[in-house]
Amino acid sequence: AYLARTPSSASNRKTWTWSGWVKRSNLGTANVYQRLFEAHVNNSNLTTITFTDADQLEIMSRTSGTNRIHVRADAKLRDPSAWYHFIVAVDTTATANTDKCKLYVNGVLQDATYYSTTPDNHETHINSAIAHHIGSKDGSSVFFDGYIADCFLIDGSQLSPTSFGAF
């Protein structure tokens, strides 16, 4: 099962935060990426938050076939008995590349590999007037295998973990 929604109009595509609690049922399978959240036009134009086949959290935003954001947390998240709290905080108006996209797991900013340099003021596909999916790749037969709870998309703010709870 998955959720899908198409916003009636576009809003802030440069600055947003996605937060959610995630519990995995199965770990990575070769060449299978499990989508937590995405906005998808086609394979050349999309923004995704994904578990890679190596069990790492990744965000990618691709426009016209070119990766504009491609960040992967270095940690391997391989505990199917654990609930993880994820935050993906994006602000492409920031100066430093590492400030444009931040990945948090359980309140801790993750060491990450930045595979691309995000252009200043890059507009992702999140918050555009296209289908957004929670738990699937474009509503197709590729679904996230696990649970997603208490999921939020905050428009116009790059938030830190303290915005979602006390530690």
pLDDT digit string, tens, across residues 126-148: 999 999 999 988 777 778 889 99
Q: Which is higher by pLDDT, 77 or 26? A: 77
Quickly state the pLDDT bin for 28 (edges 50, 70, 90).
confident
Beta sheet of 3-5, edge-to-edge order: 3-5, 132-134, 34-42, 45-51, 57-63, 66-73, 112-114
Q: How far is CA 73 from CA 44, 64, 82, in A?
A: 23, 24, 18
The whole-number average pLDDT for the span 86-99 is 97
Task: Determine how β-strand 101-105 pairs with β-strand 83-91.
Answer: antiparallel
pLDDT at 98 over 90: yes
**What gap in Å lies between CA 47 and CA 27, rounded to an integer?**
22
The Cβ of residue 160 has, within 10 Å, a number of other Cβ atoms equal to 14
Q: Enter the pTM of the model.
A: 0.94
Confidence of residue 8 (pLDDT cuts 50, 70, 90): confident
Which pLDDT score is estimated for 54? 92
- Measure the CA–CA gap between 137 and 154, rounded to whole angstroms: 21
pLDDT at 60 over 90: yes
